[in-house]
DNA sequence: CGTTTTTATGTCAAGCGCTGTCATATGCCT
DNA sequence: AGGCATATGACAGCGCTTGACATAAAAACG
């Protein structure tokens, strides 16, 4: 194994002072092109890699950021991680992805541990950690910069990136209304997620605007998983006067509704329209493919990371969503 | 923000020597229970967290391990990460999850960067990085311990955990044969994954044992994604004498086959049996739910991490798979 | 009971690899 | 000659571990 070489070896080999190498490493001005080349050659020859630990210890930035999450949707997390990683890679930053349990009474301490032990420069919070008070409080106390992806609550002092969940739900509901639906079932998302409320809000707003009375019986609780979709879908279809369309707050639950429909031999979309939210791969996998809202998860994560790393001013950025029409929607039966 | 306290502060407050605190921190023997308590109290009061950076720098283990992967299946990665994290959490170890691109000519260097910059104590390789020569070579050169999850090739000098893909595929094929199927289509997995070959091997072995001639035309290439399942499934069903059952090398491709079947109004399972592999959530989400092989991904990852951290002898551990029967299989039409 | 061991703690100095502060040395401009 | 931008160096120190010793109390031994 090649011996680990340090900055002193590089300096020696290049015939310069250690400090000069350090300057180059940190992109300081005042390094002649000629010197730079000498040093770079030496670094290459020695396979030199600066130790993050040493840099941290001597007071520099760690060039590490952490992504904290507590989300049990594999696809969502995959997209979020991917977005963060892309941004980090482009900036030469190391990403530490850290799952936590927001219901653990000890979350705050865990976050403190993460920050103090790893010396991360900043933190990206993904939903629903974005609204976990102990974490927010700790981060404030620690004076660690952070940015939030799709937060549900305001926190004026930090940046965030998000999409307009209410508007998206409104768009989707309006689509259904335009197709002729009047009885539209709605399955709520997990209560931990603020987006759940937003989506419900958008659904109601679209209904209001169209002059359709809101009917509480058409709204069911869900938890963002297939099982709750099956349960809620079953309940809605059991209604004496069942809805002609069901809007599930995410694709997984919509898939659950589809499964129920299949079992009961209800033809989707002709006997029942079903729509989801998120545009996960599932939406294109199930039959029929789901009309859904494309949530730009990876872009949100990428943008959040860029904001964090750039360290600029507080920034609240809205990214656009997209309504994806597939084959799970049709006009209700008997509609002209 | 509370000032960061260091080991000296703790020692002072506890009325002991710095060395004693260090002994406790590093689990050395010869620390009285009473002393331990005093120190622990002081640490708590001061919110002390040892700086990983400082420990690394002074030659101790970093208590960090990295998980390296290049797998584009969200669910698989989610399970793997979860397994690793559980094990790490239990051991008080920090996990750095690092995606790489095994086709990048620079992978080796990237891995060197990771190891040298972060000083990780060891590495967990998940498929298909397990068989990426430049990575393996670099890790050997760096003298960094690593363990492989589901490797395809041998590397006698390192530990690994895996399941018996061939046997699982054999089991599944045998199930189909027992139900009366004789013409069984097979969709291969991504060529990057050694498991793909194993599964094909198991399929052929079961066929052989049952005295059914292997028919190359019934085997199609796939890439572990829904699209290739749709394509391959379509091809198989286009055959003049189509199979009565299709065995896809993973659930995603099986879902693709299901979609094709739906589109062509082929009733699954009565007109066509479809089975998958992996037991992803998708398997229970699609209609009908898939008969599949449960691959213990999280357990594999957990075990791998434990082996790595324990630092014991080289260890090759096989974990059991499980055949999950759901509703996507029936005897072929016209079978007594 | 005195002696050897074992256990438990302390002192001190060194050093891991890097960067910050301050100092120094050019050359150039006016 | 003085002032300034440019380019480089010397040195201390970040927070921790470690090794070499020193010492003291408790336990074990004969």
- What pLDDT is attached to residue B1? 43
Task: With CB atoms and an 8 Å threshold, state whether B57 touches A53.
Answer: yes
* Residues B12, A248: Cα–Cα separation, whole Å: 59
Task: With CB atoms and an 8 Å threshold, state whether B49 touches A99.
Answer: no
Residue A184 has φ and ψ, to the nearest 5°, of -115, 115
Q: What is the pLDDT of residues A160-189, one digit of tens each?
A: 999 999 999 999 999 999 999 999 999 999
pLDDT at residue A312 tops 80: no
- What pLDDT is attached to residue B3? 67
A263 contact residues in B (CB cutoff 8 A): 287
* Residues A99, A70: Cα–Cα separation, whole Å: 6
What DSSP string runs through B41-104?
Answer: HHHHHHT----HHHHHHTT----EEEEEE----HHHHHHHHHHHHHHHHHHT-EEEEEE--TTS
- What pLDDT is attached to residue B194? 84
- What pLDDT is attached to residue A211? 97
Q: Is the pTM of this model over 0.85?
A: yes
Question: Sign (positive/negative) of CA torsion B165, B169, B172, B175?
Answer: negative
Query: Which nucleotide in the DNA or RNA is closest to residue A48, CA to C1'?
Result: C17
Mean pLDDT of the A311-325 span: 92
User: How many cross-chain Cβ pairs, A to B, lie less than 8 Å apart?
Assistant: 123
How are strands ordered across the β-sheet holding A316-318?
Answer: A94-99, A64-69, A122-126, A146-149, A159-162, A316-318
- What pLDDT is attached to residue A159? 93
B116 contact residues in A (CB cutoff 8 A): 4, 49, 51
- What pLDDT is attached to residue A336? 62
CB A108 within 8 A of CB A138: yes
Classify burial at A300, counting beta carbons within 10 Å of its beta carbon; exposed 0-12, middle 13-18, buried 19 or more.
buried
* Residues A198, B166: Cα–Cα separation, whole Å: 48
The residues that bridge with B270 in the sheet, in sequence order, are none
pLDDT at residue A265 tops 50: yes
Mean pLDDT of the A112-119 span: 89
**Of A94-98, A102-106, A285-289, where does mean pLDDT reach its minimum?**
A285-289
- What pLDDT is attached to residue A22? 92
- Which chain B residue has the Cα nearest residue A229? B285
Give the gap in angstroms from C-alpha A13 to the nearest C-alpha of chain B. Answer: 20
- What pLDDT is attached to residue A245? 98
- What pLDDT is attached to residue A313? 84
* Strand C nearby residues, CB < 7 A: A 4, 6-8, 18-19, 21-22, 25-26, 48-51, 54-55, 57-60; B 15-20, 23, 29-32, 34-35, 54, 57-59
What parts of chain B have a pLDDT lower than 50?
1
- Residue A106 is classified by DSSP as T
Mean pLDDT of the A287-312 span: 93
- What pLDDT is attached to residue A126? 94
- Indicate the pairing of strand A122-126 with strand A64-69: parallel
Mean pLDDT of the A91-107 span: 92
Question: Using 50, 70 and 90 to split pLDDT, how confident is the model at A97?
Answer: very high
pLDDT at residue A2 tops 60: no
Give the gap in angstroms from C-alpha B142 to the nearest C-alpha of chain A. Answer: 5
Q: What is the pLDDT of residues B253-296, one digit of tens each?
A: 999 999 999 889 899 999 999 999 999 988 988 889 999 999 99
CB B137 within 8 A of CB B108: yes
- What pLDDT is attached to residue A1? 44
Cis peptide leading into B269, omega within 30 of 0?
yes
B82 contact residues in A (CB cutoff 8 A): 99
Classify burial at A92, counting beta carbons within 10 Å of its beta carbon; exposed 0-12, middle 13-18, buried 19 or more.
exposed
Q: What is the pLDDT of residues A130-165, one digit of tens each?
A: 999 999 999 998 889 999 999 887 766 789 999 999
Listed in order, strand segments (DSSP E) in chain A are 64-69, 94-99, 122-126, 146-149, 159-162, 184-187, 219-220, 245-248, 273-275, 292-294, 316-318, 322-324
Q: CA–CA distance from A223 to each of A261, A294, B32, B76, B194 (Å)?
A: 19, 19, 50, 22, 37
Residue B334 CA to nucleotide D9 C1', Å? 90
* Residues A263, A244: Cα–Cα separation, whole Å: 17
Q: At what angle do helices A74-91 and B74-91 cross, to 10 degrees?
A: 80
- What pLDDT is attached to residue A263? 86
Share of chain A above pLDDT 90, in %: 72
């Amino acid at each position: 194994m090649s011996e680990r070489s340090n900055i002193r070896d590089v300096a020696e080999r290049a015939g310069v002072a250690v400090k000069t190498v350090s300057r180059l490493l940190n992109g300081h001005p005042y390094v002649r092109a000629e010197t730079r080349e000498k040093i770079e050659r030496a670094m290459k020859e020695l396979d030199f890699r600066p130790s993050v630990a040493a840099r941290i210890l001597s007071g520099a930035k760690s060039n590490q950021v952490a992504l904290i999450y507590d989300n049990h949707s594999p696809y969502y997390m995959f997209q979020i991680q991917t977005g963060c990683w892309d941004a980090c890679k482009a900036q030469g930053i190391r990403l530490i992805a850290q799952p936590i349990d927001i219901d653990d009474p000890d979350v705050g301490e865990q976050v403190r541990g993460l920050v103090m032990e790893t010396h991360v420069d900043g933190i990206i919070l993904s939903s629903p950690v974005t609204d976990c008070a102990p974490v927010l409080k700790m981060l404030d106390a620690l004076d660690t910069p952070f940015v939030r992806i799709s937060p549900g609550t305001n926190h004026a002092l930090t940046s965030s990136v998000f999409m307009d969940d209410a508007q998206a739900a409104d768009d989707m509901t309006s689509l259904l209304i335009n197709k002729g639906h009047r009885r539209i079932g709605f399955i709520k998302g997990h209560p931990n997620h603020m987006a759940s409320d937003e989506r419900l809000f958008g659904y109601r707003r679209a209904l209001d605007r169209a002059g359709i009375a809101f009917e509480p019986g058409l709204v069911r609780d869900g938890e963002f998983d297939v099982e709750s979709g099956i349960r809620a879908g079953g309940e809605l279809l059991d209604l004496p006067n069942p809805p002609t369309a069901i809007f599930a707050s995410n694709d997984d639950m919509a898939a659950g509704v589809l499964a129920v429909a299949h079992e009961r031999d209800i033809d989707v979309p002709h006997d029942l329209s079903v729509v989801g939210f998120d545009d996960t791969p599932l939406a294109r996998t199930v039959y029929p493919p789901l009309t859904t809202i494309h949530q730009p998860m990876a872009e949100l994560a990428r943008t959040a990371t860029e904001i964090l790393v750039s360290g600029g001013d507080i920034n609240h950025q809205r990214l656009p969503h997209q309504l994806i029409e597939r084959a799970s929607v049709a006009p209700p039966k008997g509609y002209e």
